[in-house]
A and B are shown apart, each in its own frame.
Chain A
Amino acid sequence: MIEIGHFLAFLTLTLSVLIAIVGLRGDRALTGQLSIAAFVVMTVSFLTIVQAFMRSDFSVELVTNNSHTLKPMLYKFAGTWGNHEGSMALWCLVMAGFGAAGAVWLKSDRPVFEARTLGVQGLLGTGALAYLLFASSPYTRLETPPLQGSDLNPLLQDPALAAHPPMLYLGYVGYSFVFALAAAALIEGRVDRQWARIVRPWALGAFVPLTLGIALGSYWAYYELGWGGWWFWDPVENASLMPWLIGAAFMHSVTVTEKRGSLRSWTVLLAVAAFCFSILGAFLVRSGLLTSVHAFAVDPLRGSLLLTGLLIYGSFALGLFAWRAPSLKGGPDHYLASREGALIGNNLALGVATLTVLLGTLFPLIAEAFGQVMSVGEPYFNLTFTPIMAIALIALPIVQAWSWGRADWGNVWKWVAAFVGVVAFFWIIGVGVFDIPLLAGVGFAIGIWLIYGAGFEIWRRAKTGARLFKMPARIWGMTLAHAGLGVLTLGAVGETSLRQHSTLALEQGQSAQVADWTITLDRVAPIEGPNWYADRANLIAQRGNTRVELEPEKRIYPAARMPTTETAIHSTGTADLYVALGDKRIVDGTPRWTFEVFVKPLVDLIYLGALLIGLGAAMAMIGRRRKTAE
């Protein structure tokens, strides 16, 4: 079977080359058919890999290295993309999928432009497939298949992480299509309002899964790693955050191009940059360059190939851009204090934030090349990225009501006074019942400010309650996304500044106090799962009349010889009580178990906020769709 898949992948590669040639020559109908064919063929090819995993066919090298017969079916299935080769196959599949989607849904009066878009997508697909087939083939057979596989990394055997890579790839690769639309527009030298209208839903279509993918990854890290953290500023996370920030900047600048016809060269540059950052992310993650310099040396081929691809596509696009940019001027004039100015400010903040993440991620490498050893982590980003974003978030509700061209900003001082008032409110209640540090007070104020600002803006536009529900989906989408940003801010600030953490060492029957919870260890007993065994603790947490049982586990996956923590989380709505089981220690002859116990206020708001942002972007996309269909 896998040989058929291998053959079909080669067929997809051939089709991609054809799509590139026919598409760039401008034959819309044929390119469309070829794109759909390439997607169908790649789907079948991918399914042969899935089937090898589901059937635990250990004659396939990839399955041997990443699967096990005892693994639950879900993880056999999801294990397909839980490794380098399989995830690259998924990447190729999604890429072909966007080509096919473009073939079906691109319906403008510019067939040559559409054909060229699909052609560029074919060009990108050619690179991805060549990389898959020649540098990371999942189709390799073993001469002597073993009886058992060596299992998927147990940390990845988790429902959130099964769904995380496909989501993330839909986002990353979604920007490949935005890139293709930009490159085709540059080839034609026609970046105009119509182009902006065409590209916008695709950019949103990439942004939604990218948002949800990042949120899933963060949620997984929160409950699976056992340290209660939800964002670690790890290079792998930063790699996904950078295209997200650029994507967010693009969403805003493309609005200016769509409504006013200005900012065209900047918008098209961002369209190109989003996908370049996606490839850069893949390069950083896949080359192993960042977690360890030595891993890069182990397999320099993959890393350097990805880097080469990035350089080729990047310089191709930048070359096109340099050629066409001088002709991309225009649009009506505007003052600095205008809607255009506000959105330029948004792009400035998001652009600098992206560069900050890039700098913090790559700086240790650059410094090391010059013999300087250093680490960059959470404290750095908290002191650079966070204030830059905070300024932008404070400005958001103030400037979002500004008019195009020239804004009446005589009332800015009222807004500023209102914000200062909200900060003062949190500072005053902070010295009272709630123990809120000063900076956290500003953070909470920003969260409330954003939610209030989103509500204020839609009310300002609707003017009456009856019209509120007739507002276009696009406006509701914007409102939800901005409010979601506020909700996320509240969660992030609450978790960061008010969390409480204790390390407990408990004997059976012993109790301890964490925040206002009394936690009693009932017992620790061994249990067994399909492909793991574990110690499971039974804890009773009491607060007032509330009594909950918490059962954190420490699992061992014998096939992979790896322990994992399964945390127990009790959500009260306003806070999570979070318990992870640690080691067993013998103290004075009696066994004691250590527990990491966290009380995490408002942590759920982080995920609720991310969901709202995704939902808002999805509404904005659907709103567009309906409009273009009319």
Chain B
Amino acid sequence: MPAASAAGPRRVSAETLAQRQREISVSEFFVKNRHLLGFDNPSKAVLTTIKEAVDNSLDACEEAGILPELTIEVHDLALEATRKDPELTKGEGRFLVVVQDNGPGIVKAQIPKIFGKLLYGSKFHRLRQQRGQQGIGISAAAMYGQLTTGKPIRVTSRVGKRKAAHVFDIQLDTRKNEPVVTHDEEIAEWPLEHGTRLELEIVANWQQGQRFVNRYVEHTALANPHATLHYTRPVGVNQRASASVPGNETLSFPRATTELPKEAIEIKPHPHGVELGALMLMAQESKSHDVRGFLQSAFSRVSAQSAADILARAPWGRKAVKPRVLAANRGMAEDLQKAIAATRLMSPPTNCLSPIGDELMKKGLVGFLKVIESEGDGGDENAQLDLDAAAMKPGRKKAGKAAEGMRGADAPAPPAVPDAPLEEGVENIKGHNYFIATVTRPPKVYRGNPFQIEVGLAYGGSWPADKTIELFRFANRVPLLFQRGACGITDAIVRTDWRNYQMSQPKGSLPVGPMALLVHIASVWVPFTSESKEAVAHYPDIIKEIQLAAQECGRKLATFIRRRKALDYQAQRRSIFELYIEEVAIAIGKITDRKPGPIKKEFLRVAHRMTAAELEQEEEV
């Protein structure tokens, strides 16, 4: 009894299958897998769209040496269409996202490919610290817009004063992964000398997505103190600050410095940490005559001497071997990889990295806190960062000086204390004192890629003291907003023992206290866990560096908290004495039939001469 007959007749033959088998274009793949690119749902889509555009703009400005000035606009089309009682669209709706920069512009011929073709870009093949990596993001956003609204992306760009601006409407042929230009026009009048403007209509959920965007814009301003951001967003009737604003309001984040970040230089890979397959592939592509030359030309930090050192450790090292031979022979390649690992080499050049830097990180934090303070909400992960929250925020009472508590008609006015100079590291931001500390670690290497960790913290002010700290993660100055739990940065901070630094910390979680912690990883290649670039992978070298930086910052914080506790304690004690003096003066006054005023004055005079040390000393008598 043939088994085939029991299973029924075969419906498909290998031949018919072969007819269906065909290449899948990358765009088709991502249409089906758009969550990989951060377009999981309409509330996240608006953020991803803005983020991809802003990342590109900032990269372009920096590369061209231009101080970035960006305009980010979100328009609620339904809201703007209504004249009477405009309300924010609830749930999903049509939104127009506009991002405009003053960058170098894009040459006419490249525009369609950049915005209408996935995996087309300038960044993938370069080892250089930049925000974008693959050349996938902005075209994916255009594709998302096209899929959800059917509208093409509109790109306006101008490369110079003497050149005209061009407007393109670009669609994506997802089957071929090729751009289709539906509109091409030269415009004479454009306000900017150079720059690029994107307009993209998408389906989004602003109600739920706005907090991500608010946070992204704030954090981008924080990590890019050299950039000016203007952020226009739709607001509902009851959120509006003034009636004159027709459904939109603009927040501006002025730049904190006019200094461009240090230019990030492109580097060659470092031989340490290069993987076997990568090594063989590089050998394949090498134009050198022998392996010695290949090592010197394809890698950084390999001199003639160190190339000789490496080859001396390989069993076949004495012979001149062509790179092509190496590429074809796995055993030889393995020998070479081991030899490389055993040879001491200089660390990769770190001038390729452009950290924010201590000073600018501080400035960024100050600027960020200024906006946060004036906007109102401290930025809880789950809080709506909008204006009605600001309006509801109760006014905080300034801590009254204890001396003001003194009573009595003839009590002398408490001695006027001029505003004490702020302690080192303390910034007064809109009436709140924040302690700010920053640490920039020296560059290190993971898997042959240089990276550098920076940690900054803002403590005190109006952060809530009973909540988990705010952890702001950045990779190459781009804020990471999602997948906090899956991120190596979070892991490193959780693994740091913050109780050593006067903070409380439940086991296995972030510390609790009035603090915002900023962690920035700058690298030529940030190891993300996915294409949507939301979390940093758990490389032990990176985790260790983050911990070291956090500890260094923590030590500064602990010093500050301890000092402040001591000062608080002293101030509290002095104020208690002043209260007691009041009582004693009245009592003695009644007993001796004198006015309490002069008695109090005498006590106060002695009080001011008593130092803290004396107050302590007497206890031992």
Report whether chain A binds chain B.
no
Q: Which residues of A contact B (CB under 8 A)?
A: none
